[in-house]
């Protein structure tokens, strides 16, 4: 018997009820780790040594102290506002639709530019191994093929996408954890310092923290699909805090091993993690180069998975055309959000570079973090809660205040060009919001008439 075209399985579905709550704490935690541990860890050790010298691991410790209050705020507000949308939903729940829209749109700009930057870096890595991919045309085809594959994997259901995220996280994290653990037995401890007296200057520490916070960023993207998490009040805090602890320990370990294995040569390395692995065991270099490519693919997979849900949330609430809020009836995924994010990221990756994309997204992440911290204080103060027992931040607004002050201190180190990019983005977002609001108002008046 043939299926009627108008049967429920063929009718597009709308709203969070159309999504499947298929993500548990393990899958959500793997997604957070998968996005945070992207391309940065394979480039940061050399950059950190150049700025901080032997005290470079200390920057990760200070960065962890800065990011833990942010993670607590994310966990707290995420346990109270469980709809799909991440920071967009969190800030909107505390301060209304305009603040939520600004946060969501700014976050999506961060996501799409960081995705494009990592895709450009991946193309560069592969071009080193296969020089035929270096010219413009093959490079563009490669980037398009990568996003085409990621779109296909995401388009066939949340469970398949979640399994791929876990698989990619396992493939890239296993060699890194092995390097961090085994490398401790081979490093030269004289190359490493955790003494504050060995920090070259406060300016060096400040610029290093910008890189560290950017490297720790990712939970804001991974928490967008909260509407697909089972028992979010319980699982979001566990997955968020557990993932942050794992990432902090991994980053400190990798930095220490790279410094201890390579010494002063680390500062000039273009592939510091692979070179450190090769210094310990020669065949490890090729393995870790491959791991870098897998890591970048894992980042792109998680970024597309979560960012498409952000576009879905904006469409669901009328800030984008309503078609963005439609879920495919068969696979229960927001196909248009997947297609739009992958398409725009492809174009940016083909036209730009990692450095250009990072310039646009770096400082804006701090603004998103600060907005979520304030919202965590707000929703707790007004007693907002969903299903289940929410995480309660102790001492009222103390943790959110620490988070905001920390982000403000880091934002103070941004260059004039970065501030200009953020200001132009925010201005454009306000214009978009006003246009969409005017269109919604006109439609409402017509319906009344």
Most confident of 103-117, 151-165, 245-259, 357-371: 245-259
- pLDDT at site 245: 84
Q: How far is Cα 71 from Cα 237, in angstroms, rounded to an integer? A: 9
- Least confident range from 224-228, 329-333, 388-392: namely 224-228
Q: How far is Cα 165 from Cα 414, in angstroms, rounded to an integer? A: 33
Delineate the domains of the chain, giving CATH numbers in brackets. Answer: 21-436 (1.20.1740.10)
Residue bearing tokens 């709203």: 15
Most confident of 47-61, 84-98, 191-205, 212-226: 47-61
Buried b / exposed e across 242-280, counting CB within 10 Å, b at 16+?
bbbebbbebbbbbbbbbbbbbbeebbebebbbbbbbbbb
Work out the pLDDT band at 171, boundaries 50, 70, 90: confident
**pTM for this prediction:** 0.72
Tokens of 439: 């269109």
Bridge partners (DSSP) of residue 327 are 13
- 161 pLDDT more than 50: yes
Work out the pLDDT band at 159, boundaries 50, 70, 90: low
Alpha-carbon distances of 306 from 34, 121, 275, 283, rounded to whole Å: 12, 21, 32, 35
pLDDT: which is higher, 27 or 290: 290
Tokens of 188: 């030269």
| Helix (H) and strand (E) counts in the chain | 16, 2
Tokens of 52: 């901080």
Work out the pLDDT band at 411, boundaries 50, 70, 90: confident
- 138 pLDDT more than 90: yes
% of the chain at pLDDT higher than 70: 82
Residue-averaged pLDDT of the chain: 80
Q: Which strand (E) or helix (H) includes residue 13?
A: strand 13-14
- pLDDT at site 399: 93
Tokens of 361: 């997204």
- 7 pLDDT more than 50: no
Alpha-carbon distances of 433 from 97, 111, 319, 436, 438, rounded to whole Å: 10, 19, 7, 5, 9
Q: Do 90 and 79 form a contact (C-beta atoms < 8 A)?
A: no
Closest CA to 340 of 85, 112, 38, 13: 112
Work out the pLDDT band at 15, boundaries 50, 70, 90: very low
Instruction: Give the DSSP per-residue string, 217-251.
Output: TTHHHHTGGGGGBSSHHHHHHHHHHHHHHHHHHHH
- pLDDT at site 193: 87
- pLDDT at site 9: 47
């Amino acid at each position: 018997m043939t299926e009627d075209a108008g049967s429920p399985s063929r009718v597009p579905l709308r709203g969070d009820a159309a999504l499947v709550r298929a993500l548990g704490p393990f899958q959500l935690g793997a997604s957070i780790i998968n996005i945070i541990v992207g391309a940065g860890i394979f480039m940061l050790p050399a950059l950190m040594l150049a700025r901080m010298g032997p005290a470079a691991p200390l920057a990760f410790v200070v960065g962890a102290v800065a990011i833990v209050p942010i993670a607590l705020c994310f966990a707290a507000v995420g346990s109270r506002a469980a709809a799909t949308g991440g920071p967009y939903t969190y800030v909107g729940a505390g301060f209304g639709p305009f603040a939520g829209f600004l946060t969501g749109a700014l976050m999506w700009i961060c996501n799409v530019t960081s995705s494009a930057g990592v895709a450009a870096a991946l193309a560069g890595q592969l071009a080193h191994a296969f020089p035929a991919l270096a010219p413009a045309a093959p490079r563009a085809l490669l980037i398009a093929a990568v996003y085409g594959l990621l779109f296909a994997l995401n388009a066939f259901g949340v469970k398949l996408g979640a399994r791929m995220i876990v698989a990619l996280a396992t493939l890239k994290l296993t060699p890194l954890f092995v390097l961090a653990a085994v490398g401790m037995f081979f490093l030269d401890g004289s190359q490493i310092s955790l003494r504050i007296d060995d920090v070259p200057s406060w300016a060096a520490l400040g610029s290093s923290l910008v890189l560290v916070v950017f490297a720790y960023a990712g939970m804001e993207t991974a928490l967008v699909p909260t509407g697909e998490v089972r028992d979010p009040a319980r699982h979001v805090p566990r997955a968020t805090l557990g993932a942050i602890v794992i990432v902090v320990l991994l980053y400190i370990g990798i930095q220490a091993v790279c410094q201890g294995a390579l010494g002063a040569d680390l500062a000039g390395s273009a592939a510091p993690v692979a070179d450190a692995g090769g210094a310990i065991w020669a065949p490890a270099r090729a393995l870790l180069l491959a791991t870098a490519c897998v890591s970048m693919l894992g980042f792109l997979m998680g970024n597309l998975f979560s960012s498409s849900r952000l576009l879905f949330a904006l469409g669901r609430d009328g800030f984008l055309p309503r078609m963005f809020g439609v879920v495919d009836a068969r696979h229960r995924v927001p196909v248009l959000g997947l297609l739009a994010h992958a398409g725009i990221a492809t174009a940016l990756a083909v036209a730009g570079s990692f450095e250009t994309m990072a310039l646009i997204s770096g400082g804006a992440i701090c603004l998103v973090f600060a907005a979520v911290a304030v919202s965590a204080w707000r929703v707790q103060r007004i007693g907002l809660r969903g299903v289940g027992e929410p995480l309660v931040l102790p001492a009222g607004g103390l943790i959110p205040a620490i988070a905001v002050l920390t982000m403000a201190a880091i934002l103070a180190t941004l260059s004039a060009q970065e501030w200009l990019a953020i200001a132009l983005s925010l201005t454009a977002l306000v214009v978009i919001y006003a246009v969409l609001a005017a269109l919604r108002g006109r439609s409402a008046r017509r319906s009344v008439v």
